[in-house]
């Protein structure tokens, strides 16, 4: 077994590898850029080596600096995590030349599976089901249109070296094929230094289901079941689960057998993932093989009890697999939610800044469920524009799928994140979505269910009593706290007012306090409008960001943040400004005029921090709805901004190369 390994990565995956290495008694070396000098993975490791500036090309993607760090520290092996150099065959080969072990597959397997064109040919030769398509190189946009027409629309235009949704477009007609080819090639060249493009048939109503494989260097290869990764936005996964609610045992075994066949065809060793597209008739097609640890590996670990990082290290150290196919049993259900620094109300665009508060839920067993949180940040950490905006991977396990969903819903309610925008409101709303709960999924789920984008919902019939009860409990404790301050001119008389009105945004909700004790813990017996009665109990104290307690028979966790003359409450994806007032004040409040937000409908607003790649229009130009106005690059993704309606451009305020802040006015129109 190795004495010391270096982790050629950052963030949560570096922390994840360090934890398993510590469990095995292996010393660890972290590498870090200037932007990550104070990062969590640096503190966790036994040693840490600076490898360059924040730009990944000069730090985490620099094979020379990684190898130099190995030599300086005496690291015997390198675990690459995912992303960066994890699927770089030349890096793997260079490590071997230096006598350093790569904790992953051999360079030949990485090369074979890293080229999407070559990998599909290998898969077809091995008898693995593949999607119809044109696997040779596409010369230009005209060639792309011709091939797409021959295959039949819709088609997927994909970068051969692509990944993470970069260099990928779906085309439904010739115009989209032409534009998609240009955009995909441009993104591929910028992200991977390889602009080769291929085209294949787009499977409608597809589900993204992948098989985890594990192999050693002695010819033993097994699969660990599947993961469903169909909840995606911009071709990047948001929520994953294991097993899939769509597969039966027969289909699972068939897909697992093909995954193992493909792994053996390239003499694979280590952990890897074979990804499939599955249509509505459960017919599956090979998509690609990821020759590394997947982001979503925790859900497989939770349902199998197998530590994949440990297995990777043992295989790389020359050990045989101690697990046979018959030893792999799937127990219960696991779900992973990726917590991203992004704004779901702005089409999931990235957000940057400092985590002024970050408090994940307590990990471990909770009733019949288990909570796991893989993270690489702490309170005070900065979410930088240089790297992936992931904050954490929140996972739950339960004996069945609905149990895991309920556990995830409760865990999301308890995550405290302040200082940046984040996608927890969307994830929480998803856990309540009927189609998600029924398991009726496809990779177009978000586009179909949120065609006009996501907006944070207001409290529904189930939520309004919860919001009103919590708002009153919080307000009474605040008032009680003020009454206990010395020097008050008019202290409380001792009696508690019976009738109240809670204003939720613009709705006024009357409720009555039947009886109660205003202290910590607080206990209230309430009557809602309509006569419904609720009992509330909580040990919440003013200032705590999460109100936890019981309302009726259910455990509730509600986010509480101060707002002007009230509080913002968030629960299960719903959010509302709540203000508590006596009935007479509520009567007067109903007479107050409503202040409206400024009109920005005649402006193109930059939805995220980024750099202008191109401007497609000029002042005075008339444009039609759907036409391209500008392209802005952020996180190495080119975001095409289109006209939402027919209009005339009255001003263009930016030029290619300009750096823009969020909400910058790019152009104006009439």
The CATH code that applies to domain 105-131+205-331 is 3.30.470.20
Sign of CA dihedral 91, 94, 100, 106: positive
**φ and ψ of 67, to 5 deg:** -65, -40
Average pLDDT over residues 623-629: 86
The CATH code that applies to domain 463-484+495-589 is 3.30.700.30
Q: What is the pLDDT of residue 494?
A: 64
**φ and ψ of 664, to 5 deg:** -65, 145
Collapsing DSSP to helix, strand or coil, 166 comes out as strand
Distances (CA, A) of 153 to 147, 182, 200: 10, 18, 10
Q: Which two tokens stand for residue 531?
A: 């006569």
pTM of the model: 0.84
Model pLDDT for residues 37-61, shown as the tens digit of each residue: 999 999 999 999 999 999 999 999 9
Percent of the chain, pLDDT > 90? 77
Tokens 């952990």 label which residue? 271
As annotated, the residues of the chain forming the CATH 3.30.700.30 domain(s) are: 463-484+495-589
What is the C-alpha radius of gyration for the chain, rounded to an integer number of angstroms?
A: 27
User: CA-CA distance, 441 to 448, in Å (whole number)?
Assistant: 10
As annotated, the residues of the chain forming the CATH 3.30.470.20 domain(s) are: 105-131+205-331, 332-456
User: CA-CA distance, 269 to 107, in Å (whole number)?
Assistant: 11
Confidence of residue 137 (pLDDT cuts 50, 70, 90): confident
Confidence of residue 635 (pLDDT cuts 50, 70, 90): low
Which residues touch 587 (CB under 8 Å, ≥6 apart)?
A: none
Confidence of residue 491 (pLDDT cuts 50, 70, 90): low
Q: What is the pLDDT of residue 600?
A: 81
Class of the 134-201 domain?
Answer: alpha beta
**Better-scored residue on pLDDT, 262 or 343:** 262
621 close to 649: Cβ distance less than 8 angstroms? yes
Tokens 């032409």 label which residue? 178
Distances (CA, A) of 204 to 170, 197, 475: 11, 21, 51
Give, to the nearest 10 degrees, the angle between helix 308-316 and helix 297-304: 100
205 close to 190: Cβ distance less than 8 angstroms? no
Third-level CATH fold of 603-669: OB fold (Dihydrolipoamide Acetyltransferase, E2P) (2.40.50)
Q: Is position 288 annotated as part of the catalytic site?
A: yes
> Which CATH number among 3.40.640.10, 3.30.470.20, 1.10.3470.10, 3.40.250.10 corresponds to the domain 332-456?
3.30.470.20
Beta strand 236-242 pairing with 197-201: unpaired
427 close to 239: Cβ distance less than 8 angstroms? yes
As annotated, the residues of the chain forming the CATH 3.40.50.20 domain(s) are: 4-103
Which residues touch 462 (CB under 8 Å, ≥6 apart)?
A: none
Q: With respect to CATH, is domain 4-103 assigned 3.40.50.20?
A: yes
Model pLDDT for residues 509-532, shown as the tens digit of each residue: 999 999 988 888 999 999 998 888
373 close to 331: Cβ distance less than 8 angstroms? no
As annotated, the residues of the chain forming the CATH 3.30.1490.20 domain(s) are: 134-201
User: Is the pLDDT assigned to residue 571 strictly greater than 90?
Assistant: yes
Count of CA atoms in the C-beta half-sphere (13 A) of 406: 13
**φ and ψ of 140, to 5 deg:** -155, -175
162 close to 287: Cβ distance less than 8 angstroms? no
User: Quick one: DSSP state of residue 625?
Assistant: T
User: Is the pLDDT assigned to residue 26 strictly greater than 70?
Assistant: yes
Angle made by CA atoms 477, 482, 485, in degrees to the nearest 5? 130
Confidence of residue 19 (pLDDT cuts 50, 70, 90): very high
Q: What is the pLDDT of residue 598?
A: 77
Confidence of residue 594 (pLDDT cuts 50, 70, 90): confident
Q: What is the pLDDT of residue 519?
A: 87
| Catalytic residue from among 288, 296, 301, 342 | 288
User: CA-CA distance, 157 to 200, in Å (whole number)?
Assistant: 7
627 close to 643: Cβ distance less than 8 angstroms? yes
Sign of CA dihedral 338, 343, 344, 350: negative
């Amino acid at each position: 077994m190795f004495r010391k390994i270096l982790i050629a990565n950052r963030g949560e995956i570096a922390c994840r590898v360090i934890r398993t290495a510590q469990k095995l008694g292996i010393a660890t070396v972290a590498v870090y850029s200037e932007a990550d000098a104070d990062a969590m993975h640096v503190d966790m490791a036994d040693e840490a080596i600076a490898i360059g500036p924040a730009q990944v090309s000069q730090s985490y993607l620099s094979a020379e600096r990684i190898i130099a760090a190995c030599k300086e520290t005496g690291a015997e092996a390198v675990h690459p995590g995912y992303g960066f150099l994890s699927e770089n065959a030349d890096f793997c080969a260079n490590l071997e030349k230096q006598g350093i072990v790569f904790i992953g597959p051999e360079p030949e397997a990485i090369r074979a599976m890293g080229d999407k064109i070559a990998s599909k040919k290998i898969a077809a030769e091995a008898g693995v089901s593949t999607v119809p398509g044109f696997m040779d190189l596409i010369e230009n946009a005209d060639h792309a249109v011709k091939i797409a027409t021959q295959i039949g629309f819709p088609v997927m235009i994909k970068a051969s070296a692509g990944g993470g949704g970069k260099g990928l477009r779906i085309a439904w007609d010739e115009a989209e094929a032409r534009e998609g080819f240009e955009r995909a090639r441009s993104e591929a060249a910028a992200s991977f230094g390889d602009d080769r493009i291929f085209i294949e048939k787009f499977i409608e109503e597809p589900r993204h289901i992948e098989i985890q494989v594990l192999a050693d260097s002695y010819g033993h290869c097994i699969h660990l079941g599947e993961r469903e990764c169909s909840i995606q936005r911009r071709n990047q996964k948001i929520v994953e689960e294991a097993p899939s609610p769509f597969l039966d045992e027969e289909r699972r075994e068939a897909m697992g057998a093909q995954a193992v066949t493909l792994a053996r065809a390239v003499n694979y060793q280590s952990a890897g993932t074979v990804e499939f597209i599955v249509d509505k008739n459960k017919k599956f097609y090979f998509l690609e093989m990821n020759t590394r640890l997947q982001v979503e590996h925790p859900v497989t670990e939770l349902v199998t009890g197998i530590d994949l990082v440990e297995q990777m290290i043992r295989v790389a150290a020359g050990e045989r697999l101690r697990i046979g196919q018959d030893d792999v049993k799937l127990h219960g259900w696991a779900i992973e939610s990726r917590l991203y620094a992004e704004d779901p109300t702005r089409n999931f665009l990235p957000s940057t800044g400092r985590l002024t508060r970050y408090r994940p839920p307590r990990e471990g067993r909770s009733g019949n469920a288990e909570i796991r949180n893989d993270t690489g940040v702490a309170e005070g950490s900065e979410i930088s524009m240089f790297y992936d905006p992931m904050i954490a991977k929140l996972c739950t396990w339960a004996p069945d799928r609905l149990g895991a969903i309920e556990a995830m819903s409760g865990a999301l309610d308890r995550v405290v994140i302040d200082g940046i925008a984040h996608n927890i409101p969307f994830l929480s709303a998803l856990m309540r979505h009927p189609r998600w709960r029924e398991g009726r999924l496809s990779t177009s789920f978000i586009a179909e269910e949120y065609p006009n984008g996501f907006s944070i919902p207001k409290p529904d019939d189930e939520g309004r009593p919860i919001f009103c009860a919590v708002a009153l409990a919080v307000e009474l404790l605040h008032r009680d706290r003020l009454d206990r301050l010395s020097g008050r001119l008019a202290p409380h008389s001792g009696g508690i007012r019976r009738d109240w009105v809670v204003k939720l945004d613009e709705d006024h909700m009357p409720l009555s306090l039947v009886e109660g004790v205003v202290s910590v813990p607080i206990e209230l017996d309430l009557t809602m409008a309509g006569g419904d009665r609720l009992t509330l109990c909580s040990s919440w104290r003013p200032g705590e960001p999460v109100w936890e307690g019981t309302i009726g028979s259910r455990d509730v966790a509600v986010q509480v943040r101060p707002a002007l003359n009230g509080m913002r409450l968030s629960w299960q994806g719903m959010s509302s400004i709540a203000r508590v007032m006596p009935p007479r004040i509520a009567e007067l409040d109903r007479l107050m005029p409503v202040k409206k937000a400024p009109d920005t409908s005649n402006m193109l607003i930059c939805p995220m921090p980024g750099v202008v790649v191109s401007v497609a229009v000029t002042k005075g130009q008339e444009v039609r709805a759907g036409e391209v106005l500008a392209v802005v690059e952020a996180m190495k993704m080119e975001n095409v901004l289109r006209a939402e309606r027919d209009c005339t451009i009255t001003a263009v305020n930016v030029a290619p190369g300009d750096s823009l802040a969020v909400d910058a006015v790019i152009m104006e129109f009439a």
